[in-house]
Structure 1
Amino acid sequence: MRVGIVGSGSMGWAHARAWHTLGVELAVHSRNWEEATRLASLWDARVSPDLDSLLAEVDVVDVCLPTFLHRETAERAARAGCHVVCEKPLALAVEDAEAMFAACDAAGVRLFVAMVLRFFPQYRAARELVRAGQIGEPRVLRLKRVGSPPHGGTSWFGDEARSGGVILDLMLHDIDYALWTLGEAERVYARSTTAGAHQYAQAVLTHRSGASCLIEAGWAYPDGLFRTGIDLAGTSGLIEWSSDAAPPVQTFHPQKRGEQQAVALPAVSPGTDPFVLELGAVLAALKEDRPFEVTPGEALGALRTAFAIRESARTGRAVTLGVEA
């Protein structure tokens, strides 16, 4: 399989490392020639001088560009007959995301949305415990994702018109995870604050299942600090994990005579690269012609929910989402 990465920023590097591990034939194109050359030398890739050259020599295009460039690049790749992997958020408007799926459908190629949080072992294991009924009916989910402003707040990330801001760019990870784990949301309420390069938001999702979710996201910590966490309470148990903790996710149940109070998940290697798992799933989906982990409907649903949360944060009012077809 021949893969071409477009973009040489942080996601381009993460994806290049993963593709290299998976043993594909790799090419890269970036407007930053020096950075593209460094990436290529480290991960055994060739550098394409322009996008058209890249499109002519690969089977899959991996879009690792700023969000405002996603639609144009994905549509050009589709017209060239290439399958498309696109980093989240897919687009800055639901209509643009729908147009990207339509362009790929019309060209007979596939569009894979890179929701990498689904491939983090701790998050995946927690959801599997829920699906196995280990904590009864899930009732309250709390998710945290807070780091420092990207690039110190001086890059395109800080421009909401180009990145979508902290809700669309960062919180989207956990929005997708909440919908994947608890089902569709019917109502959201959010508050946010911005101080210079620092952005912070909290959102409450009420799910159609009756469960609730609180998501905290921010570019608010000092440089170099990044923390994530998950707490999920059900009718008969609790799952929790923090990036500050040891690798195993732990499950707690009311203590019964003769039972352990805390049970760790089966061994999860802290060295497992979720980007390798994610892009390996893309390769398997293409080679075996099978569905990908993130369906188009799920990708669009997460995006719609993110926009509803952003609207709630803007207006200070709760937003009710329409029933998805």
Structure 2
Amino acid sequence: MKIGIVGTGTMGRVHAAAYRRMGAEFVGAYDRNPEKLAAFVGAYTVDPFKSFEELLMRVDVVDVTAPTYAHEELAVRAFEAGKDVILEKPLALTPDSGRRILEAARESGRRLFVAMVVRFFPQYRKAAELVHAGKLGRVGVVRLKRVLFPPGPGWYRDPEKSGGMPVDLMIHDLDYARWLLGDPVRVFARKSPPVEGEVLEHVQALLSFPDGRMALVEGGWAYPAGYFRTALDIAGDRGLVEWSSDQPPPMATLFPAGEPAPEVGLPMAGLEEDPYELELRHALEALERGKPFDVAPEDALAALELALAVRESAASGRPVEVAS
């Protein structure tokens, strides 16, 4: 399958590097900015397409890494041209826009993979496997953290174009919480006071589930330049799994009382695996073999709706009911 990338910013380069490492047939790219496009195709030795239409004529799979506000237009046009689509998260800026993308995929008979990469980080994937296999017993509380420095000048700083921090950043952990516990019924979020002229934002959200379980999700664009911290903590009635980007091992596990500890400490997931490569390799193999994606398009839509509920609650200071 011949792959073309549209959008040559940060995520376009991340995807291009992953395709090169895995030996995929990455043939070219398009960007509305000719200077960015020239630098990109020079770095990855691929063809520069003069228009999106030319890209559509030359490839089988369209990888959309353009800004979020362009997702609907580009994805729908790709489906209308009969192409499969890999779409960088978030799916869209609004649920209606997201539903139009999903409908275009259904009408075309082509497939949509939304790149929710945290599901492919080895630490997060291993923790999810433990939960789904029942190794931790009944999980009651999930705590997730993702905080970093604010984005630089550009479209990320405009909520009308990026969705703001909850939609662009927290959506990763909101999707992960759904993957572990299913759909919440209610969210309550608080955010830091605004700082005039700055994009600084820190949000803490409580997700309530119908059976009484809860997830505490923290996200922020408020750390000093260069800092990026993530963490997970999943507590069940038979065990606990936790990991933090500040600790040297990839994951630490507290085993239930009465069960023997392992003879020697071993990492439970290897950090040498690149999650972006794992994610894209999975997407291409699923397309080639007709297998289901680990992230269904409906998952991406539900994560978007949850992120928007968090944003609404943080702005209003009131709980928001989440439609099932």
Measured against the shorter chain, the TM-score band is over 0.9
Gaps of 5+ in 1: none
Contact 1:182 1:209 in 2 (8 A): no
Note the C-alpha offset of 1:149: 0.9
Superposed CA offset, 1:121-161 (max 9, x none) = 0000001111222221111111000011112xx21111111
**Separation (CA, whole Å) in 1 of partners of 2:82 and 2:21:** 25
* TM-score using structure 1 length: 0.94
**Separation (CA, whole Å) in 2 of partners of 1:251 and 1:208:** 27
Contact 1:118 1:177 in 2 (8 A): yes
User: What is the aligned partner in structure 2 of residue 235 from structure 1?
Assistant: 237
* TM-score using structure 2 length: 0.94
Note the C-alpha offset of 1:191: 1.1
**Separation (CA, whole Å) in 2 of partners of 1:263 and 1:236:** 21
**Separation (CA, whole Å) in 2 of partners of 1:311 and 1:197:** 17
User: What is the aligned partner in structure 1 of residue 203 from structure 2?
Assistant: 201
**Separation (CA, whole Å) in 2 of partners of 1:187 and 1:166:** 20
Gaps of 5+ in 2: none
Note the C-alpha offset of 1:41: 2.7
Note the C-alpha offset of 1:261: 8.2
Alignment of 1:172-321 (within 5 A): 172-193=171-192, 194-195=194-195, 196-256=198-258, 259-260=260-261, 267-321=268-322
Contact 1:6 1:64 in 2 (8 A): yes
User: What is the aligned partner in structure 2 of residue 162 from structure 1?
Assistant: 161
Contact 1:253 1:262 in 2 (8 A): no
**Separation (CA, whole Å) in 1 of partners of 2:132 and 2:287:** 27
Q: State the AA in 2 paired with 1:291.
A: P
Note the C-alpha offset of 1:22: 2.3
My pick for the range that moved more, 172-181 or 303-312, is 303-312
Q: State the AA in 2 paired with 1:248.
A: P
Contact 2:126 2:268 in 1 (8 A): no
**Separation (CA, whole Å) in 1 of partners of 2:89 and 2:311:** 16
User: What is the aligned partner in structure 2 of residue 50 from structure 1?
Assistant: 51
Contact 1:122 1:241 in 2 (8 A): yes
Superposed CA offset, 1:267-322 (max 9, x none) = 53212111111111111111111110111221111111111111111211111112
User: What is the aligned partner in structure 1 of residue 40 from structure 2?
Assistant: 39
**Separation (CA, whole Å) in 2 of partners of 1:292 and 1:255:** 37
**Separation (CA, whole Å) in 2 of partners of 1:298 and 1:161:** 23
Q: Give SS of 1:185's match.
A: coil
User: What is the aligned partner in structure 1 of residue 142 from structure 2?
Assistant: 141
User: What is the aligned partner in structure 2 of residue 8 from structure 1?
Assistant: 8
**Separation (CA, whole Å) in 2 of partners of 1:242 and 1:44:** 37
Change in 2 beyond 3 A, CA 1:45/1:265: farther
**Separation (CA, whole Å) in 2 of partners of 1:318 and 1:82:** 41
- Root-mean-square deviation (CA), in Å? 1.7
Aligned residue pairs total 320
Note the C-alpha offset of 1:200: 1.1
Note the C-alpha offset of 1:262: 10
Superposed CA offset, 1:152-200 (max 9, x none) = xx21111111111000100000000000011111110001233212111
My pick for the range that moved more, 275-284 or 17-26, is 17-26
Superposed CA offset, 1:186-229 (max 9, x none) = 11000123321211111000123432111110110111110100
My pick for the range that moved more, 290-299 or 220-229, is 290-299
User: What is the aligned partner in structure 2 of residue 132 from structure 1?
Assistant: 133
My pick for the range that moved more, 206-215 or 231-240, is 206-215
Contact 1:248 1:264 in 2 (8 A): no
**Separation (CA, whole Å) in 1 of partners of 2:239 and 2:100:** 42
Note the C-alpha offset of 1:35: 2.5
Q: State the AA in 1 paired with 2:45.
A: D
Return the structure number with greater relative CO, CA threshold 8 A, min gap 6: 2
Contact 1:250 1:264 in 2 (8 A): no
**Percent identity of equivalent pairs:** 46
